[in-house]
Amino acid sequence: MTQDVEMKEVPAPSNSVSSTSPSTLHNLKEIASLLETAAYTREVRRIVRAVRLTMVLRRKLKVSVISAFLNFALTPGSEVHSRLSSFLPKDDEQDMDVDTATSATQVPAKHALPELEMYSYFLVLIFLIDQKKYNEAKACASASIARIKNLNRRTIDVLASRLYFYYSLSYELTGDLAEIRGNLLNLHRIATLRHDELGQETLLNLLLRNYLHYNLYDQAEKLRSKAPRFEAHSNQQFCRYLFYLGKIRTIQLEYTDAKESLLQAARKAPIAALGFRIQCNKWAIIVRLLLGEIPERTVFMQKGMEKALRPYFELTNAVRIGDLELFKNIAEKFSDVFNADRTHNLIVRLRHNVIRTGLRNISISYSRISLVDVAKKLRLDSPNPVADAESIVAKAIRDGAIDATLDHANGWMVSKETGDIYSTNEPQAAFDTRIAFCLNLHNDAVRALRFPPNSHKEKESAEKRRERQQQEQELAKHIAEEDDDEF
């Protein structure tokens, strides 16, 4: 019976709060000690590690755990402690009291460092956003930003950049993103004056996102062109910058630069950032279609992206075939998806590419065809399709899209015979493009090499050089004499 009683008593404490909270709270206390060490030693890498560990614990956060951590990290009854406690919901009040009492008896309250204070703001803010309490998150984020303006410490830069991000996110989730644009510009100016490069990166991306959210592409380009440039410190922020730059270049009809930026952002993005990589690929597909390229099938078959890229796969197929009717049907069928992705205006531009592709297929298939048949095959639905077909053919001939002549009198399009492509300069141009890419890649790799400094090496004097050369000559003479002896 004693064994049965003991077996019953063992699983008894398996309460949801008591089993999970101590481990999470213990991890948060270790993160707090890591932040204290980083503040005293001024090691920013420890702050980065603390933020990374917090993201791992993000799903395990509860009101009782955060309240106990605030009592541990901050002075109970202080202004910061009472403010942050007011943002937390009160539905787990009983569990919160139990955990608060245990934490207060275990560890006495410490003097709050600025790093611990900002970390407490950060912890409460991500919890409120995860719980979808956006109004409380806005108030918490605004309070943290007001406090950051009075702190000029390099150990806070990493936490400040995260708070900037969630500050903008909380206002975006409530639809009030335009309200903080002036404040973001002010924060960017403060970060520039403090030489906070990570903060400048984050705030520049937030401002670009703010402008692009309201389709203010001209203002976004003016800000981007005048913002200070420096080496990227965060890969995530650099990827976001490339994505926004690609969107701006696409709207400005600079498709080549937009393609490079979007593809680079998709390649550099972390594997876990699936949603970001999907958005990059969507815009890159549209840009490549506008350039007259057809993306490979493997682009649409990437792991985890098949369903999201399905509308763009069907759109690409319509452009490749050159069927204007099919293109219209797909644009109408997936209009909600394209509007949500904000690519509908770009897809309208693709109509001209579809017509040109269909015209190129016609010129290859027929040596001579009437403009009436061209209008029928292109399925032009204009009031005067023959005149439109004639203007389309004339423009395609002028741009070099097709190799043909236009017989206006008879109403014909006469295609020229397709010769051997290897007798033209196209292979040479293709090889030149590939060679230039390889050379640029090699030059970038050489510039990225790091060599040890040579300042510790003493310069060889003339006397030492003569002595070394004399020793080398004697050694060479001795080796030669040994070789002669062997023969």
Cβ contact 46:34 at 8 Å: yes
Q: Quick one: pLDDT at residue 244? A: 92
Cβ contact 107:140 at 8 Å: no
Residues of the chain with CATH 1.10.10: 367-421
Below-50 pLDDT ranges, the chain = 1-22, 92-110, 455, 483-487
Position 124, amino acid: V
Distances in Å between the Cα of 366 and the Cα atoms of 219, 338, 417, 418 are 49, 35, 10, 11
Q: What is the pLDDT of residues 259-274, one digit of tens each?
A: 898 998 888 888 888 8
Please state, in angstroms and rounded to a whole number, the distance separating the CA atoms of residues 424 and 44. 58
Q: What is the pLDDT of residues 432-470, one digit of tens each?
A: 989 998 998 888 888 777 665 554 555 556 777 788 788
Q: Quick one: pLDDT at residue 236? A: 85
Please state, in angstroms and rounded to a whole number, the distance separating the CA atoms of residues 347 and 357. 15
| CA R_g for the chain | 33
Cβ contact 194:229 at 8 Å: no
Cβ contact 65:21 at 8 Å: yes
Please state, in angstroms and rounded to a whole number, the distance separating the CA atoms of residues 159 and 435. 44
Take residue 360 and report the two structure tokens written for it.
Answer: 């190129």
Take residue 474 and report the two structure tokens written for it.
Answer: 């004697």
State the burial class of residue 284 (Cβ atoms within 10 Å of its Cβ: 0-12, 13-18, 19+): buried
CATH architecture entry for 367-421: Orthogonal Bundle (1.10)
Q: Quick one: pLDDT at residue 435? A: 93
Q: What is the pLDDT of residues 373-408, one digit of tens each?
A: 777 777 777 777 767 676 777 777 776 667 677 767
Instruction: Please measure the distance between the N-terminal and C-terminal CA atoms of the chain and give it in whole angstroms.
Output: 99
- Select from 226, 235, 180 the least CA-distant residue to 206: 180
State the burial class of residue 173 (Cβ atoms within 10 Å of its Cβ: 0-12, 13-18, 19+): middle
- Select from 358, 388, 355 the least CA-distant residue to 371: 388
For the chain, percent of residues with pLDDT exceeding 90: 4
Say which residue the tokens 């969507």 belong to: 282
Q: Quick one: pLDDT at residue 423? A: 73
3-state secondary structure of 405: strand
Strand order in the sheet with 412-415: 368-370, 412-415, 404-407
Say which residue the tokens 């640029």 belong to: 440
Cβ contact 65:25 at 8 Å: yes
For residue 22, what are the contacts with CB-CB under 8 A and spacing of at least 6?
Answer: none
Please state, in angstroms and rounded to a whole number, the distance separating the CA atoms of residues 300 and 352. 23
Q: What is the pLDDT of residues 231-240, one digit of tens each?
A: 667 788 888 9
* Angle between helical axes of 63-73 and 79-87 (0-180°, round to 10): 170
Q: Identify the helix (H) or strand (E) that includes residue 338.
A: helix 335-341
Q: Quick one: pLDDT at residue 16? A: 42
Take residue 242 and report the two structure tokens written for it.
Answer: 């490339």
